[in-house]
Amino acid sequence: MSAKIQRPETVIQFGEGGFLRGFVDWMLQILNNSGEFSGSAVVVQPIQNGMCRILEEQDCIYTHVMRGLKDGVPTVDTCKIDSISRCVNPYDDYEAFLSLADNPSFKVIVSNTTEAGIVYNENDKPDVYPHVTFPAKLTALLYRRFKNNLNGFLILPCELIDKNGQTLKNCVLSYAKLWNLEPEFAEWINTQNAFCNTFVDRIVTGYPKNETFDLGYTDNMLNTSEIFHLWVIEGDSDAVNSVLPFNKTNLNVLITNNLEKYRTRKVRILNGAHTSMIPYALLSGVKTVRECMENKTISRFLHTCVYDEIIPTLDLEREELLEYADCVFERFKNPYIEHMCSSIALNSVSKFKVRVLPSILEYVKRFNKIPENLVFSLYCLIKFYKTGEPNDMPEIVDIMKNSSIKDILSDTKLWDTDISFLYTEVIKYDN
């Protein structure tokens, strides 16, 4: 690979996994290439056994390959990423990690430490290094920054939990209290740092283990993803763009004061489509999402679910919802991703409760009639648990397999509400 361009270090990044390298670091590369920004990220290894050593062996340069459909045409885009300057491993050198707080050029903190990463552990003491949890490490870093009398950060967590920014902030404030840090530090946290709730959407498939890419060089950190990307940030657009000028690029970054409507759009349309389709597909012997799209019966069923029964229950502009749904169907047809139906089927009952049932209930509320296709998906879900090989908690499988359909629908432990009013519509498919 060619020599790396040296840029100011402006971003502290907790995590070196495929997602951040195929999402945030790729976006930093786009920003750098635009000429409207010049900055790099320092990667902090969040766990003891990470990949920073491998990344540094190739000077933190790697190739990212994006594959999918663009307007129905199979497309492959390749991008060399040199937006990471170096790595810091707090398990090897904790002082090197803390010293990042001494550099005033750092403006942004990003993270992806998995859904279990943003947690508070009262056993994480201030004098035991390195701290166990990511929020404790962040608290120590922020405290050093505070003691340096420097400005705070724009903090953009990418963990897939609800209100990730606020949850992270609450953890930091809890550690500040646990560690008996001065009240002025808590005030500085609240007034000098912006903990933004964010929502990310991109399938990053990581290192292509069973494929060969002719790059002309060895790249042990080669990364792959779909083409689609979306980052929704709940915050002040001027403040965000002043540090990361997304508005000067074509990146699909939305900065809003209401993130929930975009989360709901994704959960109801993309995740809801998956969950509505998968039991039907597995009962039909279809193995992958792409094969579902190639199956005329399942594809037509799913199209009706999304466009006729889910979209009418959402409050965003209809054209925006239709555009997003079109994009979802194109993503489902991606010829480069083998998305197994069996993997999506994990814990299907809880997924149905969150992703599909709200659309059913809202449809009934708005239109005073039953959404037949979504209710058929509910029937398929029950039948799959009774006759297929569901992968779920044993107690859930036992209820679904051994209870009557009426008892299943009235079980508030499954659905958080009694949905037995759907019984007549569900049972008509049971013949």
Do residues 267 and 306 touch, judged by C-beta distance below 8 A? no
Q: Tokens at residue 24, please?
A: 């945030």
Name the one residue in this structure whose structure tokens are 């466009």: 307
User: Which pLDDT value is given to residue 145?
Assistant: 98
Helices (DSSP H) in 2-90: which residue ranges?
Answer: 18-22, 24-34, 52-57
| Domain ranges across the chain | 9-256, 260-427
pLDDT at 95 over 90: yes
pLDDT at 2 over 70: no
Full DSSP string of 202-237:
--EEES-TT-----SS--TT-EEE-S--EEEEES-H
Q: Tokens at residue 119, please?
A: 């947690």
Query: Buried b vs exposed e over 16-47: b needs ≥16 C-beta within 10 Å?
Result: bbbbbbbbbbbbbbbbbeeeebebbbbbbbbb
pLDDT at 115 over 80: no
Angle at 255 between CA 249 and CA 256, to 5 degrees: 155
Range in 9-18, 34-43, 333-342, 359-368 with the lowest mean pLDDT:
333-342
Sheet containing strand 84-88, strands side by side = 84-88, 40-44, 9-14, 108-111, 154-157, 194-195
Helices (DSSP H) in 179-247: which residue ranges?
Answer: 183-192, 237-243
User: Which pLDDT value is given to residue 213?
Assistant: 85
State pLDDT tens for residues 346-388. 999 999 999 999 999 999 999 999 999 999 999 999 999 999 9
- Across all residues in the chain, what is the average pLDDT? 95
How many alpha carbons fall within 13 Å on the CB side of residue 240?
Answer: 22
Q: Tokens at residue 66, please?
A: 């994006």
User: Which pLDDT value is given to residue 4?
Assistant: 83
pLDDT at 212 over 70: yes
Range in 184-188, 208-212, 297-301, 419-423 with the lowest mean pLDDT:
208-212
Over range 328-343, report the average pLDDT.
93
Check residue 306 and report its DSSP letter.
I
SS3 sequence, 74-100? EEEEEEEECCEEEEECCCCCHHHHHHH
Helix axes 348-355, 394-402, angle to 10 degrees: 80
Let me know how many helices (H) and strands (E) the chain has, helices first: 21, 13
pLDDT at 3 over 80: no
Phi (first) and psi of residue 38, to 5 degrees: -140, 105
Do residues 272 and 356 touch, judged by C-beta distance below 8 A? yes
Q: For residue 323, what is the enclosing H or E element?
A: helix 318-332
The pTM assigned to this predicted structure is 0.90
pLDDT at 214 over 90: no
Range in 206-210, 246-250, 264-268 with the lowest mean pLDDT:
206-210
Over range 143-148, report the average pLDDT.
98
Name the one residue in this structure whose structure tokens are 């209710």: 375
Q: Estimate the share of the chain in helix, then strand, then coil, as percent rounded to the nearest 5.
A: 50, 15, 35
Do residues 236 and 212 touch, judged by C-beta distance below 8 A? no
Q: Does domain 260-427 have CATH number 3.20.20.150?
A: no
Nearest residue to 50 via CA among 147, 130, 125: 130
Structural class in CATH, domain 9-256 = alpha beta
Contacts of 174 (CB under 8 A, 6+ apart): 120
Rounded Cα distance between 65 and 79, Å, is 6
Do residues 389 and 374 touch, judged by C-beta distance below 8 A? no
Range in 34-38, 47-51, 57-61, 72-76 with the lowest mean pLDDT:
47-51
User: Which pLDDT value is given to residue 308?
Assistant: 98
Q: Tokens at residue 13, please?
A: 């990044």
pLDDT at 425 over 80: yes
Rounded Cα distance between 344 and 106, Å, is 39
pLDDT at 1 over 60: no
Name the one residue in this structure whose structure tokens are 């550690």: 175
Over range 19-40, report the average pLDDT.
97
Q: How many residues does the chain have?
A: 431
